[in-house]
Structure 1
Amino acid sequence: MDTNKFTKKALDALNAAQNLALERHQQQICKEHVAYALLNDEEGLIPKLVTKCGADAPQLLREIDRLISQMPSVTGSGAGEAYLSQDCSLMLSQAEKDAKKQGDDYVSVEHIFSAILDNPTPALKAVFAKCKLNKKDFMNALSQVKTSKVTSDSPEDTYDVLNKYGHDMVERAARGQLDPVIGRDDEIRNVIRILSRKTKNNPVLIGEAGVGKTAIAEGLAQRIVRGDVPEGLKDKHIFALDMGALIAGAKYRGEFEERLKAVLTEIKKQNGRMLLFIDELHTIVGAGKTEGSMDAGNLLKPMLARGELHCIGATT
């Protein structure tokens, strides 16, 4: 097993499984320990995918905890050491093969959990059946959030990006979560007119702080919900990019660009059905820039020039 080929989250899960075995005075790290560690990461990918499958993640965690507590424990001279069981080693080898087969450069948490689902122990199999979790549903849920190959050791940043790094304003308007916009009809009509052009169709809203620039985008979202827009804008969605969430935690060079690229790729896949709204547009210039790397503005330019990205900006 080559640990250099595992993502950070996958290695964290294996370390957590080892610590769990040591806490319970168990010498073997089994599939149950690894499955528990993967499900116990509340912010992780696996609990979200399990919930997406329609299974109850907390119940699954409790059932696996019960299985672990029934395993033999050791006290005395042998305690304090834990090693991978043969079953667990084979499972990790299978995860490596699966990653290679899918064209991924690293073994991620989903490869490990998928390998556990593929060949569970009899006790785990019974638990999965009880919680209504199976490999087919898991892979279907994964295909909805995993939109690109695993090419770095922290690929989870690029999964389900539209929910992580922003929100859909049209969806919020449909749920009645936006306040009504009054007295901004001329500005909204102007934005609609610019968006309806063939080229040069990316409006920028400029005004003093607090005059209601974001409100114009919200007003447009409400009009789309009501159907009070030209044919070309009907059924469109407005994705409001959260620049803070995008930059937060991107410590190393290339992490920020990778996240933004994942967002842009996801929007591109919508085939023009999604408009990108960037509030505080001036933050784009220089955002994520370190020595020798591109900033967000330079990543947006080619897509805007080719017309692959439809964008609304707001700035002071």
Structure 2
Amino acid sequence: MVLVDLELQPFLLTSHQVWFRRKISAAFTPHLLLPPASNSEFTEMAWEGVIGAVDAARESKQQVVETEHLMKALLEQKDGLARRIFTKAGVDNSTLLEATNDFISLQPKVTGETSGPIVGSHLGSLLDKARKHKKEMGDSFVSVEHLLLAFPSDKRFGQQLFSNMNLSEKALKEAVQAVRGGQRVSDQNPEGKYEALEKYGNDLTELARRGKLDPVIGRDDEIRRCIQILSRRTKNNPVIIGEPGVGKTAIAEGLAQRIVRGDVPEPLLNRKVIFLITYCLSHVNSLVS
């Protein structure tokens, strides 16, 4: 392995591998060790994953930061987008993380003083692939889903991992599309906006489909009136007003049950009724205009 001094021989650097010989204090942030990537081109969650990859390599006493370290960092993000996408694809995140840790444990370790983690060629290639996915999807920043979509092309780790998990590239793309819901990455914090209704509301139609709702009795007129209003072409927003405990939620549940039974006009078939948890609105002000 040849170490290149940034200050003396910058012309020897490639787009995938840049090494620092300078001793860097632990107080400096890890992103100084990852020149092939800049936080200005990544979303906040994606950049946290890149930084987390450096930490994962350090914790494992491995000098080369590679794709397996990035996967570990993404899987360990609390309420992370990667976990939501894998869940949507039918993959168990705990099993995925265990397989990733097993792979990391097999990699060479270093002892003694080193110049700090360096970028592996496979990770550099994966970041380039993620940038291509960003461009193809018409996004402004590299997000977590772009990183995940690059893993099927990773011959070092990603291909074998997904093969062992029976996760195809097609299934991964479908999961990404389902979670994104047609949204575009136009700022550096888009991940929190994905599946906002699922995160901050309850799907009453799904609960009705699973038999989790009690039968609604004595509210036929109100439910029928809601259906009539919802079926209009204009002015189709019913508002149910009443004191707490008079049965407003029961009307919404009754509507959800009728949708599941197919006892609604065609425009309402296969629609969803979402019960928004209003006290969560303070956490999603950026989603409401």
Corresponding residue of 2:75 = 39
Structure 2 residue corresponding to 1:143, chosen from 177, 180, 185? 177
Distance, in Å, in 1 between the alignment partners of 2:61 and 2:270 is 58
Give distance in 2, aligned partners of 1:240 and 1:102: 31
What is the match of residue 194 of structure 1?
Answer: 229
Within 5 Å, give how 1:207-246 maps onto structure 2. Answer: 207-230=242-265, 233-246=268-281
Q: Given the alignment, which residue of 12, 30, 49 partners 1:13?
A: 49
Alignment check: 8 A CA contact 2:91 2:165 kept: yes
Contact 2:134 2:142 in 1 (8 A): yes
Q: 2 CA distance for matches of 1:64 and 1:227?
A: 45
Aligned-residue identity in percent:
43
Q: Distance in 2 between matches of 1:97 and 1:234?
A: 39
Tell me what 2:168 maps to.
Answer: 134
**Residue 54 (structure 1) aligned to one of 84, 90, 97:** 90
Q: Which residue of the other structure, out of 121, 126, 133, is the alignment partner of 1:98? A: 133
C-alpha offsets along residues 68-105 of structure 1, whole Å, 9 cap, x if unaligned? 112222222217x2121233223212212321232110
- Please, which of 141, 144, 163 is the counterpart of residue 109 of structure 1? 144
**TM-score with structure 1 length normalisation?**
0.71
Worse-superposed segment, 56-65 or 181-190: 181-190
Distance 1:162 1:208, change over 3 A: closer
Deviation digits for residues 222-254 of structure 1 (CA, Å, limit 9, x no counterpart): 233344445554444322233333431x4xxxx
Task: Return the letter of the residue paired with 1:39.
Answer: L
Using the alignment, how far apart are the partners of 1:229 and 1:203 within structure 2? Answer: 16
Instruction: Give the match for residue 65 of structure 1.
Output: 101
Structure 1 stretch displaced more, 178-187 or 63-72: 178-187
Q: Match for residue 180 of structure 1?
A: 215
- 1:154 aligns to what? 189
Q: Deviations over 1:16-63 (max 9, x none)?
A: 111111112211111111111112235212223223333343222212
1:70 counterpart letter in structure 2: L
Asked if the contact 2:54/2:69 (under 8 Å) is kept, the reply is yes
* Alignment partners' CA distance in 2, 1:86 and 1:196: 57
Unmatched 5+ stretches in structure 1: 251-255, 261-295, 297-316
Aligned residues: 252
| Deviation digits for residues 128-162 of structure 1 (CA, Å, limit 9, x no counterpart) | 32222232221121122222111111111222233
Secondary structure of the residue aligned to 2:240 is: strand
1:201: Cα distance to partner? Answer: 3.0
Instruction: Give per-residue Cα distances to partners, 1:100-128, cap 9 Å, x unaligned.
Output: 2321100011111222221231x543333
8 A Cα contact 1:164 1:245, kept in partner: no
Task: Give the residue type in structure 1 aligned to 2:129.
Answer: Q
Q: Which amino acid aligns with 2:69?
A: H
Q: Which amino acid aligns with 2:235?
A: K
TM-score of the two chains, using structure 2 as the length reference: 0.77
Distance in 2, Cα, partners of 1:135 & 1:227: 35
Please tell me the residue identity of whatever aligns with 1:169.
L
Q: Does the 8 Å contact 2:231/2:268 carry over to 1? A: yes
Distance 1:177 1:192 in 2: 22
Structure 2 Cα separation of the partners of residues 26 and 169 of structure 1: 49
| Counterpart for residue 66 of structure 2 | 30
Partners of 2:197 and 2:110 in 1: how far apart?
47
Query: Structure 2: which amino acid aligns with 1:54?
Result: G
Q: Given residue 112 of structure 1, which amino acid in structure 2 is its aligned partner?
A: L
**Aligned-pair RMSD on alpha carbons?**
2.4
Maintained 8 Å contact 1:64/1:124: no
Identify if the C-alpha distance between structure 1 residues 49 and 203 changes in structure 2 by more than 3 Å, giving closer, same or farther: closer
Gap change, CA 1:74 and 1:207, over 3 Å in 2: same
